[in-house]
Structure formats: structure tokens, C-alpha cells
Amino acid sequence: MGGRHVHRARHLLEGTLDAALPEEQLVRAARAVVAELGSPERLFDLVRELATGVGAPSACALLSYRHVLGFDKLLLIDGGPGHMLRAHVWHPGTRSAGREDIHNHRSPLASYVVRGRLGMELYEPLRSTANPGESGVAASWFRESLSDVEGHWLLEPAGPARLRLTQTAEYGTGSGYGLPSYALHRAWCASAGTAVTLFLETGAGRRRYTDVFADATDATGSGGRAEAVVKRPMDVKDYLAELESLAELLSR
């Protein structure tokens, strides 16, 4: 059962996001939703309520984990195939500790910076991979899908690729962005302190896999990369403790 703030958030998600909309319209709607839910008072109330065990903590904990690239993914509301609302807690030094692979998503998304700053790069694929003199960066292309083992990613090699950087941006507190499912990007914490973003994936037509592009000099093959990105879900106790810590952070 949900409390008042969980109920209000679900009502906004379900009333605003029509999965039948074209992706561009769905992205705009999702941006409006995360901007509203990401306001300091509203997000604090939602997270504090969830931290008491309201909602579906067991189910949300199974889909929450500490990402190997330096940020925590905390599922707040699971709307099934329609939408998933998460808090991403980004820790300083993410970019220097290890840059996120360039990737896209299964669904359109929107992200709103609640605290700190987030850096992001956008890329586009180049048609030719054979000409080493062509501008762009060499990458190893993988298709990422869900394996039969619960909580694991399956990364299958799909060949070489070359990508061109098209945009670099920083997003400060109170700003955000939306991307269609096919957009290639990577992000990192660009602030000296912890950054928090409210992240929403939406749309019922989720793709079976995403595209992941790793630095060609770092790729070691599907087996090695699959081991590097194993998901370790939180247990309920840790999940609620992380929500409590997030609520405390948001109250400052």
C-alpha cells in the first residue's frame, strides 16, 4: 500500500505519461514529470515516506543496486512496462574512477538534477569503421540484454564501431534533459560533492536490448565484460537505509 506522497507521484505518472505517444512527445512529458517530482520539497517528502517502508520495498530493493561506475540506482516507483522512477546518487570522482560506457536505453528517458552537477556527452555512430583517418573514436560494440540469471546483464559482441562526439554539456541543480531511447550518451558526476538526479524511463514499447560502446582498447570480450557489470541487488534493509540517507541529504 502506498502513502499520500507515493499515491500522488503514481497519479502524476499515470495521468501524464501516455505510452501511445510518439517518443518525442513522451520525452517532453517525462521531462515535465521529473521536474515536478524533483522539486526539493516534493522529492524529500516522497523519499522520506518510502524510507518508512511504504510502497513496495521488497520489489524495489531487487531492482536497486550500486553501479560499478560510481553511482547508486534506487528504484522509487515501479510502474511495470509503463514507467520506472529512480533516484540516482552520483558520487564525486565518478569520471576519474572510470568513465561510463557510451550507451542508449530500452525506453525514452528524462533526468532532472536535484542536487550537484552532472556532465554528459552525446554521440552518433559513423557509417564507416574501416577508415582509421576518419574523425571519431574507435569502439567495441556490444548488445546488452537480460540474461536468464536474475540480476545479470548479458553483453554480446556486435563488432567494431566508430562514434563521433556531438555535444558536451553540464547540468546544474534545477536543470535536466530528456532523450529518446536510441540516443547514445554517457554521464558523470561533475560536482565536488554528491549529485542526485531523478531519473525516469517510460513507454510500454521497451526494446529487447540496448547498444553499449566500450573503448576499443579496453574491451576484453563478452565474458570478461559481463563479469564486470554483474548487478548485485540491495536487500530491503540496505535499500531503506539508502533512502533514509538520501532523505537526509535532500534536507540539507
pTM over 0.85: yes
Q: Give the pLDDT mean for 193-209.
A: 86
Range 155-193 burial, b when 16+ CB lie within 10 A, else e:
beebeebbbeeeeeeebebeebbbbbbebbbbbbbbbee
Per-residue confidence band for 96, with pLDDT thresholds at 50, 70 and 90: very low
Contact 244, 51 (CB under 8 A): yes
Residue 137 confidence (pLDDT) = 87
The pLDDT of residue 21 is 85
- Give the span between the Cα atoms of 101 and 103, in whole angstroms: 6
More confident residue, 184 or 226: 184
CA distance 6 to 17: 16
pLDDT at position 144 is 85
Per-residue pLDDT, averaged over 185-190, amounts to 92
Q: Is the pLDDT of residue 24 over 70?
A: yes
Superfamily of domain 4-250: Jelly Rolls (2.60.120.10)
**Residue ranges of the domains in the chain?**
4-250
The answer to whether 134 touches 170, Cβ cutoff 8 Å, is no
Q: Look at residue 224 in the predicted model and tell me its pLDDT.
A: 40
Give the cell for residue 27: 520525452
C-alpha distance from residue 221 to each of 138, 210, 227 (Å)? 15, 17, 10
User: Is residue 111 within 8 Å of residue 118, measured between CB atoms?
Assistant: yes
Q: What is the pLDDT of residue 242?
A: 97
Instruction: Look up cell 520539497; give the residue.
Output: 41
Q: Does residue 249 surpass a pLDDT of 50?
A: yes
Residues 6+ apart with CB under 8 A from 137: 162, 163, 164, 165, 215
Give per-residue pLDDT as tens, 220-244.
444 344 444 567 899 999 999 999 9
